[in-house]
Amino acid sequence: MDTCRIPANTSKCSGNTMECFMVLSTQAQKISIGILCGLFGTMCVFENSLVLYLIFSSPGTRKKPSYLFIGSLALADILASIIFVCSFVNFHVFNEAGFSKEVFLLQLGGVNTSFSASLSSLLLTALDRYISISRPSEYKLLMTRKRAWTALAVLWVTCATIAYLPLLGWNCCVLDSTCSELFPFVDDNYLSGWICFVVVLLGCIIYAYAHVLWRARQHVAYMEKHQAQAGKQNTRMRMDVMLAKTLVMVLAVLMLCWSPVLGLMIYSIFGRLSDHLRKVFAFCSTLCLLNSMVNPIIYALRSKELFSSLRRVFSHFRRQLKAAEESPEAESTHKSSVIET
């Protein structure tokens, strides 16, 4: 096990650096974390898998850049849920500390890549709506499928590169610097940089949504003024307003779920966290899973195309069940008639 400089308030754990970060002290706390992770993680994987199926099973949605970005968000949430739940439960609930520094940083990099990609996908979605509303006549020329796929490739490569910097050498063991109080082997300067990266993403998203909402309000006023001239243009405006409101709901949930985690991360850089606050951080981390679980619900309720696809899937499933239930009875009736004949 690599020896790193332990934060002052955890020096009593100097014999094993990994044990310093196992903050859940009671069985009730471990069971609670296990239940939350199991529930949120399972629902998140199921719901986001359904969103991916609805997007890519319909030719109308899988060709649109906006739904490609939503698909990227769903994929990122699936990966984040699987990696986060497995590593988080294994570490905090089962207190598994037998793996090496490289294995831990590999897992942490996977979690950071997925959550960063989730946030970056929201940014691309916001920019897509920004272009759609601010320059509607040029939207199809500016936002093509090729450019959408290129943007997604750059997004995932950038997020993976930033997330795996600790594994590549930017960690407190290699640099002989002070480790973060929240993450083993993570250098405080790297954590500061990652927080700045997330804050910049959030700032860009907020700016884009502010413009989208401003233009959406203009569209609503226009539609109310020209209701007698309702046509294709007004229909397009209603779609833009609907999707803008949907994305704002996603952003509101994102901020609600991520603010406690980011707040404690920032506090840990400038001050020392008590054992109580470190336990609070562990529980607040599960809110990230809650965010990933709520996003697909918002899509299903707010996106007309996805909701219609979902209804078709359930209708098809019900017809199959009905046919499966009726087929044995029909076969039995047929056999009885043959015997009587």
Name the pLDDT band for 96 (thresholds 50, 70, 90).
Answer: confident
* pLDDT tens digits for range 138-196: 888 888 899 999 999 999 999 999 999 999 989 888 888 878 888 888 888 999 999 99
Q: Which CATH architecture is the domain 24-227+239-305 placed in?
A: Up-down Bundle (1.20)
**What is the average pLDDT score of the chain?**
80
Between 26 and 332, residue with greater pLDDT? 26
Where in the chain are the domains? 24-227+239-305
Joined together, the tokens standing for residue 75 give 């994929």
Distance CA 163, CA 201 (A): 15
| pTM (predicted TM-score) | 0.82
Q: Dihedral sign for Cα 287, 289, 292, 294, please.
A: negative
Question: CA-CA-CA-CA torsion for 218, 224, 228, 231, nearest 10 degrees?
Answer: 40
Q: What's the pLDDT at 244?
A: 65
User: What percentage of the chain reaches a pLDDT higher than 70?
Assistant: 80
pLDDT of 31 > 70? The answer is yes
Distance CA 194, CA 291 (A): 19
Name the pLDDT band for 274 (thresholds 50, 70, 90).
Answer: confident
| Rounded mean pLDDT, 207-222 | 74
Between 329 and 245, residue with greater pLDDT? 245
Distance CA 283, CA 110 (A): 20
pLDDT of 228 > 80? The answer is no
DSSP characters for 16-75? -GGGGG----SHHHHHHHHHHHHHHHHHHHHHHHHHHHHHHT-HHHHTSHHHHHHHHHHH
